[in-house]
Amino acid sequence: MMCSLASLEPKNLKAIQSLEKELGKPLLAFSCRDVRAAELKADQLARIRKLEAELGVYLVAVQG
């Protein structure tokens, strides 16, 4: 399962902001979906790791 910050419709964002105000705490909204990791050859993995190092992020190859 892979989760990321959710894209929200304006009305949903307003509902979350309202609850944040009531609670006095920030909330993060996530959306999740099932994904399968891709099988990679050694050279492909090396290219991904190189780009990760350059960008300072983590990349995950998944089945398309």
Q: Report pTM.
A: 0.65
Residue-averaged pLDDT of the chain = 97
pLDDT (tens digit, 9 = 90+) per residue, 9-51? 999 999 999 999 999 999 999 999 999 999 999 999 999 999 9
Q: For the residues of 7-63, what is the DSSP string, one character each?
A: P--HHHHHHHHHHHHHHTS----EEEE---BPP--HHHHHHHHHHHHHHTS----B-
Q: How confident is the model at residue 64 (pLDDT cuts 50, 70, 90)?
A: confident
pLDDT (tens digit, 9 = 90+) per residue, 5-17? 999 999 999 999 9
Listed by start position, the domains of the chain span 1-33, 35-64
